[in-house]
Amino acid sequence: MAFDIAVKRVYAPPAAEDGQRVLVDRIWPRGVSKEHAALALWLKEIAPSDELRKWFGHEPKRWAEFQKRYGAELDGNEEAVTQLRGLLGHGKVTLLYGAHDEVHNNAVALAGYLRGR
């Protein structure tokens, strides 16, 4: 089953085409009100572990290894992954993140993980 997944910075304005907006960061983004975020869900349990997040540090040279390690964490996080897949079964979901790097972040890695399984 192909899921309709988008990835977007939480700081970008909400849009009707976002579908259900899910924040996938463990830490609430600075300067964003709950109203502005317009979330269907804050699924912090699906974010990378603090250890993995700190190790990665948004270093592009660690991206491939980060995806591998994060995928292993997700494999062991069945409850959160199942919850997110449940939302995807009802239409488009936009995964929201707070990082500055739009290419190397946990939401992009999570979307890839979901599309690949």
- Can you give the pLDDT at residue 1? 54
- Can you give the pLDDT at residue 3? 82
Which residue has 């199942």 as its token pair?
A: 82
Can you tell me the distance from the alpha carbon of 90 to that of 100, in angstroms, rounded to the nearest whole number? 29
- Can you give the pLDDT at residue 86? 94
Q: Is this structure's pTM higher than 0.85?
A: yes
- Can you give the pLDDT at residue 117? 76
| Residue segments in the chain with a per-residue pLDDT below the cut of 50 | none
- Can you give the pLDDT at residue 27? 94
- Can you give the pLDDT at residue 21? 98
Can you tell me the distance from the alpha carbon of 26 to that of 117, in angstroms, rounded to the nearest whole number? 23
Per DSSP, the residues of 17-59 read GG-EEEE--SSPPTT--HHHHT-SEE-GGGSPPHHHHHHHTT-
